[in-house]
Amino acid sequence: MNNYLFQLKEGLLISLKAIRANKARSVLTTLGIVIGVTSVVLMSTAIAGINKSFQSGVSSLGSDNIYIDKWSWFGGDLPWWKMRNRKPIKMDDYKEFKRLAKLPSAIAPSTFKTLNVKHGENVVDGVLVLGSTSEYINTTNLNFANGRFFTEIESKGARNVAVIGSNVAKKLFPRGNGLNKTVSLKGIKYKVIGVLEEQGSWLMQNFNPDNQVFIPIESMFKHFSSRRRGITINVRAPNSSMVDAITEEAITIMRRIRGLKYNEPNDFSINKQDALLKNIDQTIGIIKIGGFFITGLSLFVGAIGIMNIMFVSVKERTKEIGIRKAIGATRKTILGQFLAEASLICMIGGLIGLILAIIGSMIISQYDFPVSVQPGSVVLAIGISLITGIVSGLAPAYTAAKMDPVDALRYE
């Protein structure tokens, strides 16, 4: 065993020497691996980042919620044209639901409209404006940087008050506090009574609370939206173990409110957060497979490059191999030497690739793209480069080991 370790160490030292001696060639050889490893690591970092971002975005909305809507948000059971014909859910449905439901910890209606929000010279286009009641904040996990949500009185009175998300605040009030200032939606002035803390979920786009503005639903109906369009009822369970219970209760109540007979199917959908997460998981899974396939391909190309170069290297060093054998190197020693060389080149390439990927991640994260450097990536980088080295070095190393010393010494 000791002898093997000794041989390995010597093999590595000899390989290092050989690599240094052929610097240019070694650099070009590693290029394939560097690119391969960088792409694999960057990609897994980005995917981990996206995943984390989605998860945190979803959880900021409230993890124990169900959403009663005429539409089923995550597709699946019903074709959309069947859902289209359903009666929209109205404020009266919501009020009745609120009266009857006993289990939920918070219930709020919501409706959306996309509007431009202005303050003086500053405009944010295409903001998702969400109209709801004062209860809404209790159905979420949102925190305030400044101010507060609207009160029941403000809500019922359709006052022109608004709570804005952190990105909207940054764009409209670049110099800081937007509290108590006025923003205008379609020319109508609203007083900012609260600014939310940054949630930081880049990927939810308009559905990220950072990019939203919240106003009382009655105000929404008064100025921007028709009551006929229908609402969503947001329902929060006191804790996650009760989600199923509030779902059951909700179905029962809704069926009663909508006057459904026992044999009629639901004319509404209960949308749950875990369906969203499952959807995300599936999507991420597909992205992962696609991504790894592509980067795997680039690694494969890199490995072929290494095999090619190692063959050339072996051929070129025929005389050297002959000399080494004449001096007493066994086949195994020569095999080990060239395998070690291929592996070392690949591992150096892998290390460089890893470093580049980390730098790349830092650069991308400056552009607000979510990245999450995993310790697993390091193992991944080193592992694949080692394996690539051994696999692509095997055939050339074997060729070297098999050489007849007499012929090899004669080679010019």
Number of C-beta neighbours around residue 96 at 10 A: 16
**Which structure tokens are listed for 338?**
């060239």
163: which strand partners? 194, 214
Binding residue for another protein, selected from 1, 3, 79, 80, defined by CB under 8 A: 3
Question: Does residue 312 touch another protein according to CB under 8 A?
Answer: no
Question: At its nearest, how many Å lie between another protein and the CB of residue 350?
Answer: 25
Q: Which pairing describes strands 182-185 and 106-119: parallel, antiparallel, or unpaired?
A: antiparallel
Asked if 152 contacts 134 with a C-beta cutoff of 8 angstroms, the reply is yes
Q: Least Å distance between CB 327 and another protein? A: 5
State the nearest-atom distance from the C-beta of 325 to another protein, in Å: 7
Q: Do the strands 122-132 and 212-216 form a parallel or antiparallel pair, or are they unpaired?
A: parallel
Establish if 406 lies at the interface with another protein (CB under 8 A). Answer: yes
Q: Does 82 bind another protein (CB under 8 A)?
A: no
CB closer to another protein, 230 vs 322? 322
Q: How far is the CB of 402 from another protein (least distance, A)?
A: 10
Q: Interface with another protein includes 16 (CB under 8 A)?
A: no
Q: Give the separation between CA 149 and CA 215, rounded to whole angstroms.
A: 9
| 10 binds another protein per the rule CB under 8 A | yes
Burial of 145 (0-12, 13-18, 19+ CB in 10 A): middle
Nearer to another protein, 223 or 324 (CB): 324
Could you tell me which stretch among 2-10, 167-175, 259-267, 299-307 binds another protein (CB under 8 A)? 2-10
Q: Determine which residue in the list 113, 159, 236, 325 makes contact with another protein, applying CB under 8 A.
A: 325
Shortest distance, position 329 Cβ to another protein, whole Å: 5
In whole angstroms, give the CA distance from residue 175 to residue 184. 18
Give yes or no for a contact between 90 and 231, defined as CB atoms under 8 angstroms apart: yes
* Near another protein in 86-145, by CB under 8 A: none
Q: For CA atoms 381, 387, 390, 395, give the dihedral sign.
A: negative
List residues near another protein by CB under 8 A. Answer: 3, 6-7, 10, 14, 17-18, 21, 319-320, 322-333, 405-406, 409
